[in-house]
Amino acid sequence: MLHVFRTTEGLVACRDGEWMRLPELSWDEWFQADSPIQWLNLRLAQARPGGQPDMTVLAPLASQEVWAAGVTYYRSRSARMEESDAAADCYDRVYSADRPELFFKATPHRVVGTGGPVRIRRDATWNVPEPELALCVSRSGRIFGYTVGNDMSSRDLEGENPLYLPQAKVYDQCCALGPGILVTDDPLPPDTEIRLTINRDGKVVFSGSTQLSQMKRAPEELVGYLFRDNRFPAGCFLLTGTGVVPDAGF
C-alpha cells in the first residue's frame, strides 16, 4: 500500500511501512501529471528510504478546489427530506435523476488537515459533520487516490431554503481532508466502511457507519459529470456524499 502525505517537510510517502522523503516534489505538479501514479513511482524509485520522519501533517492539497456530491446515499435523501418540507420533492427527484447533485465546497484556505479545528456557522443552530470518501482527481479527470473528508453542513440553513446551500456548506474551516492520500488505480471494495463518532466531554454522543456499497452512484460517474465543461488546472477533490447522518434531534 502506498500513502502520500503533505507535511512541513514537503511530500512524504510511505509504502508498506517504508518511509521516503520527497521534499523537492511539487504537490500541484503531481495532480497535473497525465498519469499521477506513474509520475510518483518514477520519483519514488530514485528516493532513499528512511525512518518515520518527525513531521507535521498538513491538509493534502495545494491549489486544488474541493467539490462535493449530495444525495448519493438513500440515508442522505431521507435526511434531506426530513429537514425541509418545502424541498422534500426536490431531494427525492435528484436521488433518482440521471444528473447528480454537485456543488462547490471549498478553496484550499477553507480546508483544515487532520486534527485541525473545523467550524460551525455562528448564524446556524443545527450543524452536523458529514464523513465522506474523498476522490483525488487529476487535471485530466483521472481518479488516482482516496482520502477522508468531512463536509461540515448547517442543516437548518439548507432546510429553510435549498438556495441557501452555498451558505450552509461554504465558509471558513468548513471542510477537513486527510491525513494522507491512499494512492491506487483500483476502486475501493464495496464493503469499505465509513465510520463517524462524535465525542463530547469524554462521552460518545453519536456513532454511526455505512459502506460504499450503499452509494447509488459510482465515483467515475460523479467525476464524469463534474468535468463536463469544467476545467481543473491543478486537479481537484470530490467528496462523494454521506450515508451517516445524525438524527433530527441531534
Per-residue pLDDT tens digits for 146-190? 999 999 999 999 888 889 999 999 999 999 999 999 999 999 999
Mean of the per-residue pLDDT values of the chain? 92
47 pLDDT band, cuts 50/70/90, is: confident
Whole-number percent of the chain with pLDDT over 90:
80
CB 93 within 8 A of CB 213: no
Whole-number percent of the chain with pLDDT over 70:
94
Round to whole Å and give the CA distance between 35 and 198: 38
CB 18 within 8 A of CB 49: yes
Q: Could you report the per-residue pLDDT of 50-80, keeping only the tens digit for each?
A: 888 888 999 999 999 999 999 999 756 555 5
Q: Is the dihedral of CA 110, 192, 180, 198 positive or negative?
A: positive
What single-letter amino acid sits at 93? R
Strand-strand pairing, 65-70 and 101-106: antiparallel
Q: Is the dihedral of CA 39, 42, 45, 48 positive or negative?
A: negative
Q: Could you report the per-residue pLDDT of 201-210, keeping only the tens digit for each?
A: 999 999 999 9
125 pLDDT band, cuts 50/70/90, is: very high
pLDDT of residue 80: 58
Q: Is the dihedral of CA 105, 145, 245, 224 positive or negative?
A: positive
List C-alpha distances in Å: 11 to 26, 32, 35, 48, 82. Answer: 8, 15, 18, 13, 43
pTM here is 0.93
